[in-house]
């Protein structure tokens, strides 16, 4: 049985990435701050819309995040109705946003305190790569967790690589 996943952030990258997961047969719950994008996505792909990031997380084993910047990641994960308020223990967050390595380490530590896992996994390849499912992913965090989520990331990537401990995905992308 395929895992239930959430995708937070349906911008030019997240929209097709979430679509690739849905088309691969995963049960996908999406959340986007602007409901219009989520509505459009749900008319194109099989899946459901959550009213909050926490609601999406409650319905999922793995939560993928692809938003704008450090502040957006912190908000979508740590706010009152954020992912980490809804994710069950042992849940996994995979952050595809390009952020600072400092934030990635902080989110890893925060997730660990509540019994969850966090991978920083920024992507390279742009909008066309996301649409074609041909992104490159650099991941930092637990290698065991990386190997658990790699088959899902393969739905929208051509290549992914485990780079090392928390923050190393971000550091690799910066190089």
Domain boundaries, the chain: 4-174
**Active site residues per annotation:** 173
Q: According to the model, what pLDDT value does residue 175 have?
A: 87
Give the three-class secondary structure for 71: helix
Distance CA 73, CA 69 (A): 6
**What is 4-174's CATH number, 3.90.550.10, 1.10.645.10, 3.40.50.10470, 3.40.50.720?**
3.40.50.720
Q: According to the model, what pLDDT value does residue 2 have?
A: 80
Distance CA 110, CA 21 (A): 27
**CB-based burial of residue 151 (10 Å sphere; 0-12 exposed, 13-18 middle, 19+ buried)?**
exposed
User: In tens digits, what is the pLDDT along the chain, a chain of 175 residues?
Assistant: 688 999 999 999 999 999 999 999 999 999 999 999 999 999 999 999 999 999 999 999 999 999 999 999 999 999 999 999 999 999 999 999 999 999 999 999 999 999 999 999 999 999 999 999 999 999 999 999 999 999 999 999 999 999 999 999 999 999 8
Distance CA 93, CA 95 (A): 6
Instruction: Give CA separation, 77 vs 67, 118, 126, 168, in Å.
Output: 11, 11, 23, 20
């Amino acid at each position: 049985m395929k895992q239930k996943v959430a995708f937070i952030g349906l911008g030019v990258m997240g929209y097709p990435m979430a679509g690739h997961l849905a088309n691969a047969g995963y049960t996908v719950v999406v959340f986007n701050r602007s409901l219009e994008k989520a509505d459009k996505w749900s008319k194109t792909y099989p899946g459901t819309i959550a009213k909050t990031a926490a609601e999406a997380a409650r319905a999922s084993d793995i939560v993928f995040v692809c938003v704008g910047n450090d502040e957006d990641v912190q908000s979508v994960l740590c706010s009152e109705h954020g992912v980490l308020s809804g994710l069950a223990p042992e849940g996994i967050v995979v952050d595809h946003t390009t952020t600072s390595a400092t934030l990635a380490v902080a989110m890893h530590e925060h997730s660990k305190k509540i019994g969850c896992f966090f991978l920083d996994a920024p992507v390279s390849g742009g909008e066309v790569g996301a649409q074609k499912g041909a992104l490159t992913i650099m991941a930092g965090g637990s290698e065991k967790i990386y190997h658990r989520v790699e088959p899902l990331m393969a739905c929208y990537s051509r290549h992914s690589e485990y780079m090392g401990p928390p923050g190393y995905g971000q550091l690799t992308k910066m190089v």
